[in-house]
Structure 1
Amino acid sequence: MKLLLDFLPLLLFFVTFKYADGQPDWAAAFATEHLGFLVSGGKVGPTEAPVLLATLVVMLATIAQVLYLKLRRRKVDLMLWVSLGLVMTLGAATVYFHNETFIKWKPTMLYWAISTVFLVGRFLLGRDLLRKMLGPQVELPSPIWTRLTLAWIVFFLALGFANLYVAYSYSTEAWANFKAFGSTGLILLFTLGQGVYMSRHLPQESEAPAEEPKS
């Protein structure tokens, strides 16, 4: 359930973008008629309408995600608050200026925020946040936790650059595909790799002593 909730805004963004991109004239007319008051100039063209509609959907979905957790009296993770702040700020700029560049920066800023949190926590505050999150379930030597934290820092820093490369080098459609499948797939592979690496360094259970033969 939590996994579905985490990926729901991304899924809705992708579905909305694909649907609107398939019929851009309808999307432009719909956005101009119903959302023109939110847009500078009051008119939305067919080229920017798909990403504008998808941006509004992801903004509403992220708000709903936070409200759902609050109503269920469940904790809202720090990164979700960061994501909400970014999507509302950059999303509003995307809609008002009908310029997709702003929302394309959102994944990069989120990835770099994750990288920065782990970097500051480990090397400035002396707190290993990854160990704090997983420590109660997993016992690992301190050097292994440090390597895992460094891997998180480097991975999300690199993923942020990868998002910008795709955003500025390819079409918006290609970027949407990368956002939905490319970056998500890379994160899943990275998480799987982390799990494999952790399993190699788990403490071995001591073997039970052999029973003495009965006389």
Structure 2
Amino acid sequence: MKQFIDFIPLLLFFIVYKLDPRMIDIAGHDFELGGIYSATKILIASSVVVYGALFVRQRKLEKSQWLTLLACLLFGGLTLAFHSVTFLKWKAPVVNWLFALAFAGSHFIGDRVLVKRFMGHALTLPEPVWLRLNLAWVVFFLFCGAANLYVAFTFESFWVDFKVFGSLAMTVIFMVAQGIYLSRHLRDSDSSTPKPKD
């Protein structure tokens, strides 16, 4: 459910971006709908509404949600202020690389790596497995950032499609691979647990 909520602003951005630009009248004011700049406005507005509603409901936001919201406001705001899509193209790479930095930094700061802080309540794994899993997240975020940057500045006509569906596909593939990796270690853990005698 959380992943779907986080995806709403990006989906709205994609829909508005794909519309042919047109002027619409709302309460006597003309607004442009369609194209990158109106899509950026929708991205900012929907992010504020979605994360604002989450904050009101939960009385808090996760750090990743704060980072996503602030990046959206910063890079989206710069895109609109300077009327340059270049700023928005840097949003996904920078956010991904900041996540990579957070996961990498947790190897040196704190008593547990970041992935263990997120999943440790649900899984019991040997420490070397947690470390490898955390490093896998570092590599994943570095790769996602690089892929987004490459596509944004090399295949501009395909960039928004990749931002929405390419990033989603990479995440799904990584999660499936992580599940396969974890299932192997969970089976090893189960087989090493002594069975009760009858």
- Give the aligned length: 191
1:1-215 correspondence runs (5 A) = 1-19=1-19, 23-24=20-21, 26=22, 34=30, 50-171=35-156, 173-202=157-186, 203-204=189-190, 206-209=194-197, 211=198
TM-superposition CA deviations, 1:54-76 (whole Å, max 9, x none): 11111111111221112212531
- CA RMSD of the aligned region, Å? 2.1
* Letter aligned with residue 15 of structure 1: I
TM-score by length of 2: 0.88
Residue 206 of structure 1, CA deviation: 4.0
Which one has more relative contact order, counting CA pairs under 8 Å at least 6 apart?
1
Alignment partners' CA distance in 1, 2:116 and 2:41: 36
Alignment partners' CA distance in 2, 1:208 and 1:142: 26
Unaligned 5+ residue runs, structure 2? none
Residue 174 of structure 1, CA deviation: 0.4
TM-superposition CA deviations, 1:129-183 (whole Å, max 9, x none): 1111111110100000000000000110111011010011012x30010011111
Alignment partners' CA distance in 2, 1:122 and 1:68: 33
Unaligned 5+ residue runs, structure 1? 36-43
Alignment partners' CA distance in 1, 2:47 and 2:71: 10
TM-superposition CA deviations, 1:77-127 (whole Å, max 9, x none): 101111111111111111121111101111111101110111111134453
Tell me which structure has the larger Cα radius of gyration. Answer: 1
* Letter aligned with residue 167 of structure 2: S
TM-superposition CA deviations, 1:7-41 (whole Å, max 9, x none): 1011111111011xxx23x26x98xx846xxxxxx
Instruction: Give percent identity, aligned residues only.
Output: 36
In structure 2, the residue matched to 1:38 is: none
Q: Tell me the SS of whatever aligns to 1:123.
A: coil
Residue 6 of structure 1, CA deviation: 1.3
Between Structure 1 and Structure 2, the one with more strand by share is: 2
